[in-house]
Amino acid sequence: MEETLKILVVDDDKVDRIAIRSALTKAGVPIELAEVGDGNEAFSALSTTVYHCVFLDYRLPDQDGLTLIQQLRSSEIKVPLVVLTDQGDEQITLQLLKAGATDYLSKSRISPETLSQVLRSAIRIYQAEMQADLASQQLRETHEELISKNQELERQQQQIQMQNFKLLEASRLKSLFLATMSHELRTPMNAIIGFSQVLLRPKFGQLTHQQRDMVERILNNGKHLLMLLNEVLDFSKLEGGGLDLKAEIFNISKVINLAVSEIRSLAEAKNLSLLVKTDLQNPLVFNDPVRIKQILINLLSNAIKFTEFGEIWVEVKELPANRVVIIVQDTGVGIAPKDFKHIFEAFRQVDQTITRKYPGTGLGLAIIDSLVRMMGGKIFLESKVGVGSMFKIELPRQITLPTVEADTPTSQLDDDDFFCPAKNPPHSSFQSRKTSIGYPKFKL
């Protein structure tokens, strides 16, 4: 069943009102009609009742239709409005539509057909306008919401950036502090080691057995401390990007044998066999011999530290694609798979407790990891708790050094800051290792 439409007719002319009523009735539109005679009455009727449509005579006794429409619209009273015009009112129609009239109809054209047509189209237009208004209101709200979310995001982004800057600065200061401290501590430590060595020389004078024992302890502890300091210094340099590789051609088998001979006494002290196998057709590589030895000493120290019985094997062999692999294997405590990833992070140890059995800084593997990356290599770890561990370092036979711009600032510490044990071979000059172009031609 068709909905009954509530219609308000605003016209002071009773004849006109009757004409509208009878036309609408004849048209068969189910209506509930209300009638008022002037603008004021119309305003109060529309303020209290909701109508489906208003037929408004342009000429009212107290005001014209345009004024009433403006008044209604400024009071946010929304209703489809059809203005009924007389002869001569045509020029005003555009203004009426602009002010908010939905449609207009000349009184001379009032008939059941025109009236019902105008009524329906006014309601349709009004509904479409309302929907469009609603949609644009929703759009406006969404837009405003988006703007405020965007502002909030920008604010958060700025905060994150600020925090990031602060963190970077704090990290930079921490690295600088670590580098400066370890650098400063190395000088007195070198004096302690040097003078202990002098004291132990026979030509310096005879020491009693007890004195000799004490000086040897000072020397050993001094060396251990120096190694720890060097780890911290290397770590801070690696973090700050201030550590460069000093590549040259060398015999990798010799460097491996050298590292093993330096560490052998530690293995012997724990009754562990230390076996070496160097199986290379061509032992020459282009890399940093000091850093290769450092990697090996670190892996071997760990293998000895974490092994109570059994053996430690070191092997170096060739791989396809001009690569070599260094393997250090032990029969020690082993590492659980869940710890594989973490032990390569700085300061991470499987046992993080203060009362742990095995001492150490937790920097060794982090340093190895960074160095191997710099060399373009990869580390593989296989381990089983209670059975042992195997660290494999795969390296290109010839590493590629990064090209450095001529005016790139270098580390804050001198190039000579590296702890370089006396037995290590000399490096190529600082200049020649700063660039990847112009290396001497050689065959590997």
Per CB under 6 A, the list member of 65, 332, 377, 396 interacting with ligand ADP is 332
Residues 6+ apart with CB under 8 A from 92: 58, 66, 85
Site membership for ligand ADP, residue 296 (CB under 6 A): no
Site membership for ligand ADP, residue 251 (CB under 6 A): no
* Side chain identity at residue 41, one-letter code: E
Q: How far is the CB of 166 from ligand ADP (least distance, A)?
A: 28
The count of other CB atoms within 10 Å of the CB of residue 429 is 10
Question: Which residue has 């650098």 as its token pair?
Answer: 183
- Segment (H or E) for 117: helix 112-200
Site membership for ligand ADP, residue 175 (CB under 6 A): no
Site membership for ligand ADP, residue 396 (CB under 6 A): no
**β-sheet with 378-384: strand ranges across:** 273-279, 311-319, 323-330, 388-396, 378-384
Q: How far is the CB of 403 from ligand ADP (least distance, A)?
A: 31
* Interacting positions 12-71 with ligand ADP (CB under 6 A): none
Q: How far is the CB of 306 from ligand ADP (least distance, A)?
A: 3
**Stretch binding ligand ADP (CB under 6 A), from 33-41, 135-143, 329-337, 427-435:** 329-337
Q: What angle separates helix 364-374 from helix 209-239, to the nearest 10 degrees?
A: 50
The one-character DSSP state at 243 is -
Q: How far is the CB of 435 from ligand ADP (least distance, A)?
A: 32
Q: How far is the CB of 282 from ligand ADP (least distance, A)?
A: 29
* Interacting positions 128-157 with ligand ADP (CB under 6 A): none
Per CB under 6 A, the list member of 100, 360, 376, 425 interacting with ligand ADP is 360
Ranked by CB distance to ligand ADP, the top (closest) residue is: 360
**Stretch binding ligand ADP (CB under 6 A), from 109-117, 248-256, 271-279, 359-367:** 359-367
Q: How far is the CB of 343 from ligand ADP (least distance, A)?
A: 4
Per CB under 6 A, the list member of 364, 372, 393, 433 interacting with ligand ADP is 364
**Stretch binding ligand ADP (CB under 6 A), from 23-31, 145-153, 360-368, 419-427:** 360-368
Q: How far apart are CA 411 and CA 425, in angstroms?
A: 23
- CA-closest candidate to residue 102, choices 130, 136, 138: 130
CB 212 within 8 A of CB 200: yes
Per CB under 6 A, the list member of 51, 126, 306, 419 interacting with ligand ADP is 306
**Total residue count of the chain as it appears in this document:** 444
**Stretch binding ligand ADP (CB under 6 A), from 60-68, 104-112, 128-136, 332-340:** 332-340
Per CB under 6 A, the list member of 330, 372, 394, 395 interacting with ligand ADP is 330
Residues 6+ apart with CB under 8 A from 171: 239
Pairing label, strands 53-57, 81-85: parallel
Per CB under 6 A, the list member of 343, 372, 379, 395 interacting with ligand ADP is 343
Q: Which is nearer to ligand ADP, 290 or 328 (CB)?
A: 328
The one-character DSSP state at 109 is G
Site membership for ligand ADP, residue 335 (CB under 6 A): yes
CB 229 within 8 A of CB 182: yes
The rounded radius of gyration (Å) of the Cα atoms in the chain is 46
Q: How far apart are CA 202 and CA 191, in angstroms?
A: 19
Site membership for ligand ADP, residue 239 (CB under 6 A): no
Per CB under 6 A, the list member of 207, 280, 350, 420 interacting with ligand ADP is 350
Task: Report how far apart, in Å, the C-alpha atoms of 86 and of each of 18, 90, 227 are.
Answer: 16, 8, 107
Site membership for ligand ADP, residue 105 (CB under 6 A): no
Per CB under 6 A, the list member of 102, 294, 302, 331 interacting with ligand ADP is 302
CB 29 within 8 A of CB 59: no
Pairing label, strands 103-106, 53-57: unpaired
CB 346 within 8 A of CB 331: no
CB 123 within 8 A of CB 80: yes
Q: Which is nearer to ligand ADP, 27 or 381 (CB)?
A: 381
Residues that bind ligand ADP (CB under 6 A): 302-303, 306, 330, 332-333, 335, 343, 349-350, 360-366, 389
